[in-house]
């Protein structure tokens, strides 16, 4: 049976038919979670803790149950200076480059910077923009630069995003719940109805992408 994939969630629900990538932070790590990503979110950068956070990320990325780096990235709508955010982001990318593990990205109003950093650092690891909510133009430039787009909350909330989801190539999309109350099943139902396909077909598309990205 093909399982549902939840690319990014903040709560572990332990459902038998779902593979969840649970978001973890180095400073509050929970070893009981079977599959997770780990990273320093730009909102929570703490310079006093930075070195130990990076050490923990390095250590966990060696483990099989750690599926990805993240969420990490850039956010231009917060108080933390962009220079500091970029520096912390790049330090995490240097660590993950030693592996073939994907990167789950938080990106707000900094798509140009993220694309530039990917190019400059020659990042080969798959990079996934989680919770994608932007227009077709932004989607196009990310897709053309080899990014994957993960859809969830905004697919349920914003009808304008349906056009972007329809247009995105099937081999570059994933689905997630992030912090919403709705279940991953509801996200799949919505995604399948937008594409005009069955939930089973939607599961196969996402599972195939996930298996390839997280090989």
Q: Write out pLDDT tens, residues 104-146.
A: 999 999 999 999 999 999 999 999 999 999 999 999 999 999 9
10 has binding-site annotation:
no
71 has binding-site annotation:
yes
pLDDT value of residue 215: 87
Nearest to 26 by CA among 69, 79, 78: 69
The CATH code of the domain that includes 19 is: 3.20.20.140
Domain with 74, as residue range(s), is: 4-213
Terminal C-alpha separation, the chain: 18
CA dist 69 and 15 (Å) reads 23
Q: How many domains does the chain have?
A: 1
30 has binding-site annotation:
no
Element (H, E) at 11: none
Residue 1 has pLDDT above 90, yes or no: no
83 has binding-site annotation:
no
Secondary structure of residue 129 in the 3-state scheme? strand
Element (H, E) at 25: none
């Amino acid at each position: 049976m093909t399982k549902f994939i939840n690319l990014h969630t903040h709560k572990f629900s332990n459902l038998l038919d779902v593979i969840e990538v649970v978001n973890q932070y180095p400073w509050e790590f929970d070893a009981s979670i079977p599959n997770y990503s780990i990273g320093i979110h730009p909102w929570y950068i703490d310079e006093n803790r930075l070195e130990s956070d990076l050490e923990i990320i390095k250590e966990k990325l060696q483990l099989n149950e750690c599926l990805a780096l993240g969420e990490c990235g850039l956010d231009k709508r917060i108080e933390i200076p962009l220079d500091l955010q970029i520096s912390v982001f790049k330090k995490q990318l240097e660590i993950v480059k030693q592996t073939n593990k994907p990167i789950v990205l938080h990106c707000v109003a900094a798509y140009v910077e993220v694309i530039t950093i990917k190019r400059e650092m020659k990042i080969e690891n798959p990079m996934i923009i989680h919770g994608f909510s932007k227009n077709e133009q932004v989607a196009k430039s990310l897709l053309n630069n080899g990014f994957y787009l993960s859809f969830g909350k905004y697919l349920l909330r914003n009808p304008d995003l349906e056009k972007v989801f329809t247009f995105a190539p099937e081999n570059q999309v994933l689905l997630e719940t992030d912090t919403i109350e709705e279940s991953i099943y509801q996200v799949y139902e919505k995604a399948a109805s937008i594409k005009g396909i069955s939930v089973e077909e939607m599961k196969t598309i996402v599972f195939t992408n996930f298996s390839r990205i997280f090989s």
